[in-house]
Amino acid sequence: MTLGVARLAGKVVLVTGSTGGIGVEIVRRLAEEGASVVVTDVDVEACAKLIAGIEHGERHQILGLDIARESQWQQVVSAVSERFPGLDAMVNNGAIGSLASVVDEDLDRYNRVIEVSQTGTWLGMKHAGALIERTGGGSIVNICSILGTVGGMGNSLAYAAAKGAVRSMTKNAALHWATRGVRVNSIHPGFIETPQLLERYDGTERHRAMVANTPMGRLGRAEEVAAAVAFLAGDDSTFITGTELYVDGGWTCA
């Protein structure tokens, strides 16, 4: 996609979980809109491969980051401060999930999902959000899920618990920063047609159920989530904070 505007020109935006299906499209969209993107993930090689395919790659920064490790957040914020004048926005996209139900989930896996998907999001707001405030203000976008709001298909208990917490933390942080120049909003994707989802479900009864239960009659595209991120990360949303933006084809209103 070639855009005719550069709404994020001059802005520095940090993205976690950059190499997943949605993360890749978020990075691409932010870069296309003119941002300098801090591309982070545990897989640094995949980050480098992603940036190699984006124009003006020299404008961006690649950093390894396990979002569940506070010491790594501290290192990343320090590295960003050394490279750029500040940080204008961050996208908390990094997360892991589990398909297990309330009775099938095990404690170790549950704790790991919470550690990454919930605690990792908090750590991102704590450290990167503080840098955004010091820079003079900006935006935090937390990638949540419809499973933070509704029951979905009755599985993925740990993931739903983590995303429900992210939904509430977003509003809490929005109030904390309301007069300090930092906006905090959440985006709630429905079922998005990523390579990971298709690899697991394409052609299955579950895939058919995802489509059938989405009022628009199709799965979402990662590019559609990325477009919502670009809106909330930039200056077109300066009076929006604590808001939940659903990119779900109508799933939560059915």
Active site residues: 159
Are 141 and 91 in contact by the 8 Å Cβ rule? The answer is: yes
CB contact set of 239 (below 8 Å; sequence gap of 6+): none
| Alpha carbon distance 151, 111 (integer Å) | 20
Are 32 and 38 in contact by the 8 Å Cβ rule? The answer is: no
Helix axes 21-32, 44-52, angle to 10 degrees: 40
DSSP code of residue 192:
B
Show the CA angle centred on residue 232, arms to residues 16 and 51, nearest 5°: 40
Task: State the number of CA atoms in the 13 A half-sphere of 53 facing the CB.
Answer: 11
Task: Kindly state the helix (H) or strand (E) to which residue 48 belongs, with its residue range.
Answer: helix 44-52
For the CA atoms of 212, 216, 222, 227, what is the dihedral angle to 10 degrees?
-160
Are 156 and 215 in contact by the 8 Å Cβ rule? The answer is: no
Amino acid identity at 128: A
| Alpha carbon distance 209, 212 (integer Å) | 5
Residue 213 backbone dihedrals phi, psi, to 5 degrees: -90, 0
- Residue with tokens 């779900």, as numbered in its chain: 248
